[in-house]
A and B are shown apart, each in its own frame.
Chain A
Amino acid sequence: MKTPTYALIDLNTRASSRYEIPESLYRRYIGGKTLGARLLYDLTPAGVDPLGQDAVVIVNTSPATGTGAPCSSRFNMTFKNVLTGGIASSNCGGQFGVLMKRAGYDGIILKGQSETPCVISIVDGRIEITDADELWGKDTEETQHAFPKIYGKLVIGPAGEHLVRYAAAVSGERVAGRCGAGAVLGAKKIKAIVAYGTKRPEIHDREKFAKYVDKWVRFLRGHPMTGESLPTYGSAGLVSKANATNALPTHNFKYGHFKDAHAVSGETLADKYLLRNSSCISCPIRCERRVEVDGKDVKGPEYETCGFFGPNIDAVSMENMIRLNYLCDSYGMDTISLASTLAFAMELKENGVADFGVSFGNSDNLADIVGKIARREGVYSDLANGSKWMSERYGGKEYAMHSKGLEMASYEPRRSVGMGLGYATSNRGGCHLNGGYLALLESVGVLSMDALSTSAKPAFTAFFQNALEAISAAGFCLFSAQSFVPAVLFKIGPHHPVTRAIGKIATHLGFGVRALLWMMPVLRFNSVFLFPHAEALRLVTGLPFYTGSFVRLGERGYNMERFYNYREGLTKADDSLPDRLTQTPQDPNNPKTVVRLDKMLPVYYRIRGWDKDGTPEKRTLRKLGVQA
């Protein structure tokens, strides 16, 4: 069995060597974030400084990366989370992963720190580290242009160089945004990693795989979400949907509805600013936006950016939002953490606590301030540390909208309580995707479970956390999972009695999903309707991946990440949400509009096979094959 080829790169000595991934590890963890979590646990002791000499950064791909399967450009960065101190996995659709594989490597492990700025070149199977003094200080666009067009690139901008805690790493037009991916590279003085080669990926059964790719692509193109909605509106289409269910965070998550949301919605973006859609390589969904601002053709904003540079700071200018999105990509910064920290700073000003020159409703002065944050100038260095740090220094913990230190995404959990549980339990912090993305089933999707009911949410959360983890581990974009919602529901619409009935039934299906989780290994079949990724992974690797074992792969990865967090000292206390979400009803007239984390968490732990402190029990780890 061909195991993945990894290289260990020592930044101190600038030497690299082959790193063997044993077959037993490969079979259980496969690649991407799941294998990344295992390696990070094994290669680092507890308690390292995420930005220090002993920190390790893993940049890796999955078996499906670069095979031509739909939505398979994704690569992963695993590292110790700069914002939370736990695990971090940052995913990106840019070309770097595909080209690193073509260059002959499935993953690289970065150790130590370079004394001076450097570039790592992975070309035709050879790895070279060279000085990059002339690139240090440049923004990501200029840095990328310094290399041949055909190369895959992963670069940082000034924010990563200045160790902004939510600095991002950029690859082409896409971004490994969260948890400080840019900062950990900046701490190692890695300005850029570039790759080129012509090696083709290994595919176990080429003929069957090609046929399945054909079938899957046709299915995606025919589905209302992946074939029409996402290409037409992109993720930005969600603004009006979240607003419609009062789940659009507004005024630093104080409210869930913004009366001017229309001005910053996906429909307005499509009507007034959109030039065309575009895509990551190998993707038929094509959700990327290309928009025009200031006479330039630039990448357009995703939903999170629309929410955080719009309603969450009470701003209504779409043009400012597009400019700020472009700036964040240039500086190399996470738009979610940045804008959520700005909202926190605005509320500090509103409450007379501190004045950073930012206030709700004003996005005209932000371009300047974002630049100052990227360079840690003066008092703006505080904002570069994120909202958790700021709340510990200035107060306001009740409205610092993060979990574990990572700012939450643009879904108001008091109108989507399953998402609230997801935010609190997500391994990398307040992430909607690592959290199971239940908002799709409670609020913004065509199908709506009762958004305020807690009964089935723990089971659904655990199931979807596992599923999304598996999809990421296999190398696929999570948007490819949007097709699991049956197409017929889109034809009849969200208000049709059938759609409403399914939502009602799902609300009480907790025990059903629990049973499903328990009997996972029995599900030895694959369906293009539920997890086509499992079949694709099976044909690429030759390993027996079926729906059951596929979701189990996700469960294994999820527990591995959790176990890492436990080793790093994260406890049940960190599975938390700010008081604003658990103590203050969003609707003063409806006491149910809070997140009853206290009710859901114990049930969730039991379903997960964790003890009452949220620690994975030994028998759970044994069942999954996760050794300490």
Chain B
Amino acid sequence: MPYFITEDCIGCTACAKTCPVLAITGAAKERHVVNIRRCVSCGVCGRVCPKNAVLDGHGNPCQSVPRPKWKKPVVDTARCSACGICVTWCRAEALRISFPTFRGDIHVFAELYQPNKCVGCSLCEENCPLGAIRMAEVIA
């Protein structure tokens, strides 16, 4: 169910910048709009909105969540086949396939190489066909 942005929106553009599927449009200082055909209900916009102006698919207002508390993907490197599906879903480019550790190394896997860019959308976990990714809170 697609999310919705209310008139409380102040047009700070934080949601548009973090939406993993570019589903939010709007000019600075103007109310933003969610593309209902594209929204994947990941909840990132809700977590990032400073004004609680986002309603989830059921109409409940979303609570903002501080960045350090956003979940991040943990890859089970033994299960991961490096098929790249998670990488192509990750608009933040936080994930990549690891580089070989020696010449001829073919046992590479998905890795969170830019954890600071991750917005915690869970699209990687959702779309991994082998269930090799689990979103988890990072205990600093």
Contact = CB atoms under 8 A, between A and B. Distances in A.
* A–B contact at 8 Å CB threshold (below): yes
Contacts of B35: 124
Interface stretch (A23-31, A213-221, A372-380): A213-221
Nearest to A95: B88
Interface stretch (B6-14, B43-51, B52-60, B76-84): B76-84
A279 interface: yes
Given A68-B129, A69-B129, A124-B37, A282 B84 contact: yes
Interface in A104-151: 124-125, 148, 150
Contacts of A335: none
Contacts of A228: 106
Given A284-B81, A284-B82, A286-B82, A217 B106 contact: no
Given A221-B81, A283-B84, A213 B22 contact: no
B85 interface: yes
A40 interface: no
Interface size range of chain B in the complex:
20 to 34
A67 B127 CA distance: 9
Contact of A148 (B22, B23, B38, B84): B22
Nearest to B42: A198
B106 A279 contact: no
Interface string A60-96: 0000000111100000000000000000000000010
B94 interface: no
B130 A198 contact: no
A276 B22 CA distance: 31
B122 to A, nearest CB: 13
B80 to A, nearest CB: 9
Contacts of B91: 150
A405 interface: no
Given A150-B22, A276-B100, A197 B84 contact: no
B85 A281 contact: yes
B21 to A, nearest CB: 5
B135 interface: no
B30 to A, nearest CB: 22
Given A197-B37, A198-B40, A217-B81, A282 B129 contact: yes
B75 interface: no
Interface of B: 21-23, 35, 37-40, 81-85, 88, 91, 97, 99-100, 103-106, 108, 127-131
5 contacts: A150-B91, A221-B81, A232-B106, A270-B104, A282-B83
Interface of A: 67-70, 95, 98, 124-125, 148, 150, 197-198, 210, 213-214, 217, 221, 228, 231-232, 270, 274, 276-284, 286
The 9 A-B residue pairs with the shortest CB-CB distance in the complex, in nearest-first order: A68-B129, A284-B81, A124-B37, A231-B106, A198-B40, A276-B100, A213-B129, A281-B84, A124-B38
